[in-house]
Amino acid sequence: MFLKNCWYVGAWDHEIMDGKLLERKILDQPVVFYRGGTGQVVALDNRCCHRGAKLSQGRIEGDCVRCMYHGLKYDPSGKCVQIPGQDRIPPQLGVKSYPVVEKQHLLWIWMGDPALADPAEILDVPYLEDSNWKGIPAYLHYDSNYLLIVDNLSDFNHLAFVHTNTLGGSEEYAYVSKPNPIERLPDGFRVVRWHTDGDPPPFLRKVIPNKTEKVDRRNIARMLVPGVFLMETLFAPAGQGAREGKVVEGSREFRNCQFMTPETERTTHFFWNYLNDFEGADYTISMSLLDSLIEGFMEDKHIIEAQQKMLDDDPSFKLVAVAADVALSHFRYTLDKMIDAEQAAQVERPAPLTQASRQPAPAVAAE
């Protein structure tokens, strides 16, 4: 169902500020995130091994977390380090700890074999920490499988119809702008799309001084496993040579960063930030872009969640591909191959029994 041996976005860093315990289900597993007293970010199974109470209803103590049902205390590795009223703590007593890395304001979590978790493999998104790029991080929850959102983002034609009055601008976009052949990557795809001599879309008109001047629009998009969408967008005054590589005065650039993380087979965490490099000291433009993106994403959400219900109602329904689906088809083919290879490796080499994966004893006598 899911690719497990890879890094997923689990949260924005601001979600665990001020001693907050963040409850979040990822790949059908209950997880609690928190920041310890030393600044260490921790991700643990959100079930106390004693009676299954939520650790997210507990209390942070230094770098540890205490279950506030019966007081068991766990360190960042998941090991139980204190049981009130009981001196001896069986060494197998604990909860699962997940590798988690804080990078560029994101918390990346590894849900698979911890021995394979390499922080060097975490995607680099430099715009998220570059002071020249400003944006506001945001989150939405979808009642749909995450791959339906990936499909949506892989298909630029939907901009013309779903987002005619928001992000797209007109239905013309679907008819006159054609994508270049996609670049097939080992972990996804890259595609470039131009739309020349068009009207500025509504979201752009809100943040530029000349709201009627025709523009040349270029999108360079990458979709990467497990569900990361990055897009560089350029709007330049029409006919001034932007398509030929000239730097055109009055151009505007944006960086779109989106991360889809499965919550369950039918629900998704959706994180994003839409950044610009021409904003002044305040966040007026960022707020406008945030409002526009929320409006556009709610349009997507309305269609995708209804699509999920239709597919659930008739599992035998077969989807039919069209020419515009080449990108999303390649992504799904690539992801399926990686999942198949991962599952085959697990059959050949069972995961070692670790402290975090051991089940606690059913009962322990107090001493």
Q: What confidence score (pLDDT) does residue 162 get? A: 73
pLDDT at 201 over 60: yes
Residues 328 and 150: beta-carbon distance below 8 Å: yes
Residue 263 token pair: 């919550």
Convert the pLDDT of each residue in 131-188 to its tens digit.
999 999 999 999 999 999 999 998 877 766 776 667 665 556 555 656 668 999 999 9
Residue 20 sits at the vertex; the CA angle it makes with 72 and 66, to the nearest 5 degrees, is: 5
**Cα separation of 7 and 46, whole Å?**
19
Q: What confidence score (pLDDT) does residue 98 get? A: 98
pLDDT at 8 over 70: yes
Burial level of 267, CB count in 10 A (0-12/13-18/19+)? middle
Convert the pLDDT of each residue in 300-313 to its tens digit.
999 999 999 999 99
The identity of residue 237, as a single letter, is P
At a CB cut-off of 8 Å and minimum separation 6, what does 93 contact? Answer: 49, 79, 80, 83, 360, 361, 364
Q: What confidence score (pLDDT) does residue 322 get? A: 85
Question: How crowded is residue 228: how many other Cβ atoms within 10 Å of its Cβ?
Answer: 22
Residues 105 and 11: beta-carbon distance below 8 Å: no
Convert the pLDDT of each residue in 97-121 to its tens digit.
999 999 999 999 999 999 999 999 9
Residue 338 token pair: 């990686």
Convert the pLDDT of each residue in 269-280 to its tens digit.
999 999 999 998
Q: What confidence score (pLDDT) does residue 158 get? A: 72
- Identify the band that residue 357 occupies on the pLDDT scale cut at 50, 70 and 90: very low
Convert the pLDDT of each residue in 63-110 to its tens digit.
999 999 999 999 999 999 999 999 999 999 999 999 999 999 999 999
